[in-house]
Structure 1
Amino acid sequence: MGLTYYGYPKCGTCRKAKAWLEAKGFELREINIAEAPPAEEELGKVIATSGLELKKFFNVSGTKYRELNLKDKLVGMSDEEKISLLASDGMLIKRPLVFGDSKVTVGFKEEEFENVWTK
């Protein structure tokens, strides 16, 4: 099964997730999230499919998140504005972002990957 994998090559967590997925035999359409973040429309569909809260998609430990003071700003933003913000800068998105076959994972926890991506 092919998956879309948005990751950042310098991110150790992304490399672990990628290695895990490849070891399980997944074919990945790999995209550098910093160079080509998902478009608003794609991101909206992924978020809806995931069933997760929109805030789970923000990289809250990232420099950009802190620089933009998003902890305080997100409260007053609409979901559309939040998605637009995420699509504008891939470094704001928690990574890796993996999706396919009506499934989505954000970040990497081996136990979660095991539950979601085990064939």
Structure 2
Amino acid sequence: MLFIEYPKCSTCKKAKKYLEEHGIEFEDRHIVEENPTKEELAEWIRISGKPIKKFFNTSGMKYRELGLKDKLPEMSEEEQIELLASDGMLVKRPLLIDGEMVLAGFKEAEWPE
């Protein structure tokens, strides 16, 4: 299982603690030092079955600075994925990935499933 996080993020810390408390093994990856690639993001979005917007960190400063709330609806899917791949701070975190499912963000109630 791959756990992608920003270590200073409080939600990421809670998610990591949850995984450790439940004895779930995972590979840890820093989202800024090793940002997801376009190929990874496209695959994860496909597997998740969720819209691309769910993969944007909509509460992040970078999202607001770039005015993405207004720009995203006019962008193609490919342009949005390229944008996500350009900066880890734009990506919703944490991400938890195993070959069959992808969780973006941490809502403890959803994780046991």
Q: Which TM bucket (shorter chain)?
A: over 0.9
Aligned match of 1:14 = 12
**TM-score, structure 1 normalization:** 0.92
Aligned length, in residue pairs:
113
Gaps of 5+ in 2: none
1:99 counterpart letter in structure 2: I
**What amino acid is aligned across from residue 36 of structure 2 in structure 1?**
P
Partner of 2:74 in structure 1? 76
Shift of 1:101: 3.3
Give % identity: 55
Listed as ranges, the matches of 1:92-107 within 5 Å are 92-107=90-105
CA RMSD across the alignment: 0.8
> Does 1:108 pair with 2:102?
no
Gaps of 5+ in 1: none
Runs of 4+ aligned residues of structure 1 deviating over 2 Å after TM superposition are none
The TM-score with structure 2 as length reference comes to 0.97
Q: How far 1:81 moved relative to its partner?
A: 0.5
Deviations 1:7-26 (A, max 9, x none): 00000100110111122222
Could you tell me how far apart the structure 2 residues matched to 1:95 and 1:60 are?
Answer: 11
Structure 2 CA distance for aligned equivalents of residues 45 and 101 of structure 1: 10
Q: Provide Cα deviations, 1:82-112, integer angstroms capped at 9, x if missing partner.
A: 0010011000011001100301101000001
